[in-house]
Amino acid sequence: MAANSPNSPRQKMINLMYIVLTAMLALNVSSDVLNGFRQVEEGLVRTTENVAVQNATLYDELTVYYRNNPEKSGEWYHKATTVHGRTDSLYNYIDGLKLRIVREADGKDGDVNNIERQDDLEAASYIMLSPTTREGRKLREALIEYSAMVDEMITDSVKRRLINEYLYPRVSKQALIEKKNTWEEANFENMPVIAAITLLTKIQSDLRSAEGEILHTLLKNIDKDDVRVNQLNAYVIPESKTVIRGGKYSAHIVLAAIDTTMAPIININGTDLPQSVNGLYETICNKSGIYTLDGYLEVPHGDGTSTRHPFSTGYSVVDPTATVSATMMNVLYAGIDNPLSISVPGVPNHAVTATMKGGKLTRDKDVWQARPAKVGEDVVITVSATMNGRNQVVNTTTFRVRQLPDPMPYIAFEDDNGNIQRYKGGKPFPKRRLLAAPGIEAAIDDDLLNVEYKVLSFETVFFDSMGNAIPEVSDGNKFSERQKNSFKRLSKGKRFYISRVRAVGPDGIERDLSPIEVIVN
């Protein structure tokens, strides 16, 4: 075999040495390149310091706005404080990463401003890509969170997109080709110390720039709702355009952008308003109907001239009225509290009172309860309201009184989810639940009323093999021992009846209820 054959051990060794030499040449970073990084680093530091000074000025402006008008600027000032804290926190975190990288390269006395081993290729990788600390990943996630904050704060879509492009950590196409799949690998793997420090300084500079853009946006937002006035108009601002007869009509006659040092003359229906009332017009409304209010504001100017600004508006005077309605039904039921809604348009609820003839009317805050005394006797509810310092009747409403309908007997049981259910017969009922039930109950639960009744007595009717009925009497509303023993003897598919159910409701009337059929499952 020839000595220089491609497959000979000697040739394989030469090929391997060539590969190693090529790699060493690729890793050799010239001093010119290192110095170039240092110059970029110094320039970025100066730029960042200048931006920080500008941001401090913006913070001062926001602080002055907040002190002078906290109600108007409070939202934007507090957002600026949040931005300041988030930016400083991330900025200081990056400062710490830079110091750790330099000390990894130069030792514990390493100085970020005087790096000795600028070409060290391991320090940045060790700090940023270590699987134990994952500082590179933490920085990437922090930048993503900060970018999300920028998206929320900056309303200008163009600025938001530009900031997002240079601040959001993305992996370049070239890095992906080189099998560097994460942002931290692309930027810190086999990266000279000075290059890593310069990159981190650039990120800090980007943070300060983004902070500045946010502050500019927040400052602009303080005045974004301000109106620039270039026209004078007269306005009539009534407290209400609807007035109850006997009440008072009140309206403010104002001029937009009025000069408080030169009050306008206000003329209404041919009569000037006294300046002492500051534009407040009031008149007593004793007659129902629709009325108009015409006039003008005459504004004097510094040169002795004046301009008139006419106005016209209308208002209605209506008869006193009130709304009284039963929230459950159109009638009232005897023996129970019937919820009522009582209100007077234009009058606060605390100024409304009501009385009831033919029963008892109670109130808990804004909820009224009416309890009629007798079935068949109508009740009358009278509503009064306090308006302009005096009390007057505004409405009288009559309600019919009916007897409560009969309730439905049922067996209460607990389902598999622990919820109380009601068995009302007519379908299979598990025997174990029947045996666990203490007795029967009765209630009205038709989605309109929810009234509980007290069961006084009932009986169960079983049938023997010959078809003979065997009644068993209860112990009040409880199953008797004889009834329970009869339940135990029932087989699947058998049925019995609960009949002669007698119950009494809150109205004190005793009733005979409909029977129910129980089918044992």
Q: Which residue, 422, 411, 430, is CA-closest to 490?
A: 430
Q: How far apart (Å, rounded) are the C-alpha atoms in residues 370 and 338?
A: 5
| Averaged pLDDT in 10-residue chunks for the chain of 521 residues | 45 44 43 65 82 90 88 88 91 91 90 88 89 89 88 81 79 71 84 88 88 87 56 68 67 67 80 83 82 85 72 76 63 89 83 93 91 91 86 89 92 92 93 94 85 95 90 94 93 94 92 94 89
pLDDT at 496: 95
pLDDT at 260: 58
Q: How far apart (Å, rounded) are the C-alpha atoms in residues 508 and 496?
A: 30
DSSP secondary structure of 410-434 = EEEEE-TTS-EEEE-SSSEE-HHHH
- Written as six digits, the tokens of 145 are 């969170």
The answer to whether 429 and 520 are in contact (CB under 8 A) is yes
DSSP secondary structure of 201-248 = HHHHHHHHHHHHHHHHHHHHHHTTT--------EEEEES-SEEETTSE
Map residue 407 onto helix, strand or coil: coil
Q: List, in sequence order, every residue forming a beta bridge with 518; answer none if it has no partner.
A: 496
Map residue 301 onto helix, strand or coil: coil
Q: How far apart (Å, rounded) are the C-alpha atoms in residues 333 and 508?
A: 13
The answer to whether 310 and 295 are in contact (CB under 8 A) is yes
- Cβ-based neighbours of 286, under 8 Å, separated by 6 or more: 245, 246
pLDDT at 323: 64
Query: b or e along 69-96 (b: 16 or more beta carbons within 10 Å of the residue's beta carbon)?
Result: eeeebeebbebbeebbebbeebbeebee
Q: How far apart (Å, rounded) are the C-alpha atoms in residues 325 and 327?
A: 6
**What torsion, rounded to 10 degrees, do the Cα atoms 180, 184, 186, 188 define?**
-120
Map residue 378 onto helix, strand or coil: coil
pLDDT at 22: 36
pLDDT at 229: 44
pLDDT at 446: 78
Q: Which residue, 89, 68, 92, 84, is CA-closest to 215?
A: 84
Q: Which residue is it, tokens 């830079």?
A: 98
Question: For residue 176, how far is the Cα from the chain centroid?
Answer: 43
- Written as six digits, the tokens of 389 are 């310092």
DSSP 8-class letter at 5 = -
Q: How far apart (Å, rounded) are the C-alpha atoms in residues 271 and 293?
A: 12
pLDDT at 159: 80
Map residue 395 onto helix, strand or coil: strand
Which contiguous run of DSSP H or E holds residue 472? strand 469-473
CA dist 36 → 32, 33, 166, 188 (Å): 6, 5, 21, 18
